[in-house]
Structure formats: C-alpha cells, structure tokens
Structure 1
Amino acid sequence: MAHTEMTVGDLIDRLSVCDRSVPVRQAMNPFFPMAHRLAQVVQATDETGRPVVYLAEGRDADTQLGHLPPEAAVALAWQAPFQAPPRRHRRTARGK
C-alpha cells in the first residue's frame, strides 16, 4: 500500500477553513499525545533530493505545552472516546 504524503497545497486547503487568528500547534506522539508550539516553516530537500517543507517547534522551554486535549486525541483517532463508568448502587454501612 502506497503512503501518500500531505502536500503544501493540502495543508493550505485544510488551513483555509480555519480562523486565521488562532495559534497553530503540532500534535505529536500518538502513544503519549503532547501539544507543541510551531515556530518555523523550513523548505529543504529530503534524502532522495525531493523538496520537502518542515514545520518545526521552537527552542524555548515552553514550546511543549503539555498533554494534548482528549478531544483532539479522539479526533486524531489516537485515543478511543471514553465515558465515565456506570454508577453502581452503593451499599450502606449495614450492608443494605
């Protein structure tokens, strides 16, 4: 199965429906989802000589913002939606 990569045009199309005033963040590591601030966009060439654009996080200590919100992790299919367990009937001190 061939893997298709997102292109700059795909990214622009997806971002064009977003509010232009909101910050852009990067979600990383599906097994321990974290959010990061983006700081740079760099065009380079990959190991095969093809042009590639990299979105990079910053170097500041506060670049990693913490855990990815569960809503985002679920939307990315990195986590299953979860619900609180059903409530059980509580017994009293006398066992009733």
Structure 2
Amino acid sequence: MTHTEMTVGDLIDLLIVCDRSVPVRQAMNPFFPMAHRLAQVVQSVDEAGQPVVYLAEGRDEDTQLGHLPPEVAVALAWHGPVQAPPRRPRRTAGGK
C-alpha cells in the first residue's frame, strides 16, 4: 500500500482555518522516539477550555516510519548528546 507524505503545504492548508495563536500539540514518546506520518489536524479545547490544535498520525500499519533521527531527539531535548565512552588501554597477553 503506497502512501503520500503530508507536506508542509498540506499542513498549512489544514492549519489555515485554525486560530494562529493556539498551541499545536502532538503526542509522542520521548523515551523511545519514533517518526510518524501525520494524517489529521483536529481543533479542540484543552482541560482548561482553551482552544488547541492536535496533529494526529494515521491509522495505517505503516504510519510509523521508524526511529526518529538522533539529532532530532537531541534538538527536542528528549535525549542528550551521546558520546562514545573513553577507550581503555588494551591488556597484553600476560594480563598486564
């Protein structure tokens, strides 16, 4: 099954009818960040009765595209930059 990606233009077309001052939210998992296709934009209100816009992923099996690139998770402050551990000196055959 082939899917077309939602483009920025598609998203703008969907968001143009929304109040520009409301926050946009999408539920994600910062502990195991994955990339997902967007499928819908839904206007609603939050628990305090304030308007909010939600971006929703699709329901198809292949909506989840795979792991979020590490640099994106770092940019979102979900993960810290990872550095390789320091190298230890190698042991010799005599165990020293």
Normalising by structure 2, we get a TM-score of: 0.61
Paired residues in the alignment total 76
Cα deviation per residue 1:6-39 (whole Å; 9 max; x = unaligned)?
Answer: x74587xxxxxxxxxxxxxx68111221221111
- Structure 1 gaps of 5+ residues are 1-6, 12-25
Identical-residue share of aligned pairs (%)? 79
Counterparts of 1:83 and 1:93, CA distance in 2: 29
* Residue 81 of structure 1 pairs with residue 59 of structure 2: no
Report the residue type matching 2:28 in the other structure. Answer: M
Give secondary structure in 2 for the equivalent of 1:28.
coil
Match of 1:68 in 2: 68
- Structure 2 gaps of 5+ residues are 1-18
Report the residue type matching 1:76 in the other structure. Answer: L
Q: 1:86 to 1:47 in 2, by over 3 A?
A: closer
Counterparts of 1:43 and 1:62, CA distance in 2: 25
Greater length-normalized contact order (CA 8 Å, ≥ 6 residues apart): 2
